Chains A and B, each alone.
Chain A
């Protein structure tokens, strides 16, 4: 029995030992595999660490290079600022001009989508069209330079597609269906052909809005010489589409009841009764108004004007009241060569004949109140013109021609008192906390114009309303509707308009 037990034990041992051996072998294999995996892992870890270290070295090198760049930029920036400081300093010491004075160039333009709603036989179609259209009316460029501390120059140019498309004459058909002689329809066409490239181009205009030199030694005394905007009112000074609320200037500006610009000299200045009160004055001396006043005055009488304005400002409240008075003469002439019977070839007898002349006296006033985004502004103008020479009025002449065919007598242009005013109310909505820096201003304007006592068609009342949205300081988007109320009896048409405008300052 014991033997059997031993034999069984031995047998078991023999049976188990391969398994044990196998187990041991398996364990060994596992161990070896584990070891190999660990080694592999260690190797890869070492590799990764090596990579990380290499990358860290790279980053350190890049940071060093970045610091070096920053240092260089700071140095350049300091150099530039030192240079700018030197230039400014030079201006202050005796006003010496420093080389390479930069000129600033900037400007504005606008594009308007417009639709006029006119009756089919509306008399207002003389001046406009009733089809929808995109209208690119102007591009203004400014060139300004501060040459020294007290001397500066400014030039403003308007680029326009005009006179292309300008209707210079309308055909007039009499009651019997015959075209009245001398009244054929004419429209300017500036299309030209380039003889080299054979391309067609439409030429436009460059118009000098203003160009002047300003000498400003003191706040209270400054002198401006050149072509300048008449310093009256609010709109004539604002005049750019990114500044004014509406899509167009008021009718009093279009009718030029006050000369919008003058060529001559202006002495102006500002006094400070208190820190919040500004008192402005300006004295203008110019060629006045004339058919070619931009380049020549056709009479010896100069136009003189005086502006006074008081303005109060504090925080978000401002109030301004101003006035401008002007006196001048308008003269138009024609030149004739009087040929002598005994010397018909002589050109020495030149005669000047006055074809139109009047004296004008103008008074204009303006008020502007701004309180927490609400803007109320109004302007009025009274213009009295005293005719000093007989002048033919075309509409009157045509009427007389119809009544008496062959009429050749004169008709005198009467003295005239023109009156015009407008009131504009706008409110910049307090929506900043919801829409950020976008500025939204609804507005409404009423205008009353009596430009000419004899020609009713030039007189009208306007009601305009709209929305001005400024998504940025450089762009203004406007949507505006308007109605014209004619004052002429018998004119039933009340033209309406819709304008969508984008104005850009750059």
Chain B
């Protein structure tokens, strides 16, 4: 009976068996943002400035981690699907085409997202503090 119950739980909640890692990347947003979740495609569009508004309304303020930081590098690879040089090339091209520059970057993403309305950023799970910002998605450690 207990075995059947365990199997049922595992089938219904497969993510329960995935262990959380402190190096998972949490996608965080200001508490004023109405969205409860965000897809990777949507997130990518926001950080590449192809989408400037939340689906639920309000302007998106994407905030990057500092250039060259391991967190930024992981985000580039796992979400933007680019390496650092490719991201530089993308923004150089966007500036030539549209005069569009990259999002701002801050060393303290949690603090920035806490303060800025409409903002979205990313931090390691180990840096997360409950009640400060909302989590929209998790990018598991690769």
A residues with a Cβ closer than 8 A to B are 77-78, 81, 84-85, 88-89, 92-93, 104, 106, 108, 142, 144, 149-150, 152, 154, 156, 216, 218-219, 237-240, 242-243, 270, 272, 275-276, 278, 313-316, 437, 439, 470, 472-474, 505
Contact = CB atoms under 8 A, between A and B. Distances in A.
Given A104-B101, A219-B51, A77 B95 contact: no
A92 B117 contact: yes
B96 A242 contact: yes
Interface in B47-65: 50-53, 55, 59, 61
A73 to B, nearest CB: 11
Given A275-B41, A278-B50, A437-B85, A77 B107 contact: yes
Given A104-B101, A144-B101, A275-B42, A238 B96 contact: yes
B45 interface: yes
A472 B87 CA distance: 11
Interface in B76-109: 81, 83, 85-86, 88-89, 92-93, 95-99, 101, 104, 106-108
B116 A89 contact: yes
B85 A473 contact: yes
Contacts of B55: 272
Contacts of A104: 101
Given A81-B106, A85-B106, A470-B89, A240 B96 contact: yes
B51 A272 contact: yes
B115 interface: yes
B39 interface: yes
Interface residues of B, number: 35
Interface of B: 39, 41-42, 45, 50-53, 55, 59, 61, 81, 83, 85-86, 88-89, 92-93, 95-99, 101, 104, 106-108, 111-112, 115-118
Contact of A238 (B51, B88, B97): B97
Contacts of B45: 272, 275, 278
B101 A81 contact: no
A219 B61 contact: no
A243 B97 contact: yes
Contacts of B53: 218-219
B41 A314 contact: yes
Contacts of A474: 88, 92
B95 A472 contact: no
A108 B96 contact: yes
B52 A88 contact: no
9 residue pairs, one from A and one from B, having the closest CB atoms: A240-B96, A473-B88, A154-B99, A275-B41, A473-B89, A144-B99, A437-B85, A505-B92, A219-B53
A104 B115 CA distance: 25
B92 A473 contact: yes
Contacts of A239: 96-97
Contacts of B108: 78, 81
A142 B95 contact: yes
25 contacts: A78-B108, A81-B108, A85-B115, A88-B61, A92-B117, A106-B95, A142-B99, A152-B99, A154-B98, A154-B99, A218-B53, A237-B97, A237-B98, A238-B93, A240-B96, A270-B50, A270-B51, A272-B45, A272-B51, A276-B41, A278-B45, A278-B50, A437-B85, A472-B85, A505-B92
Contact of B39 (A144, A275, A316): A275
Nearest to B118: A92
B92 A85 contact: no
Contacts of A219: 51-53
A92 B116 contact: yes
A254 to B, nearest CB: 19
A142 B93 CA distance: 13
Contacts of A243: 93, 96-97
A456 B85 CA distance: 46
Nearest to A275: B41
Contacts of A78: 108
A278 B45 CA distance: 10
Contacts of B59: 92, 149-150
Contacts of A81: 106-108, 111-112
B64 to A, nearest CB: 13
Nearest to B93: A243
Given A275-B42, A473-B88, A473-B89, 14 more contacts: A77-B107, A85-B116, A92-B59, A92-B116, A104-B101, A106-B95, A144-B99, A144-B101, A150-B59, A270-B50, A270-B51, A272-B51, A275-B41, A313-B41
Contacts of B41: 275-276, 313-314
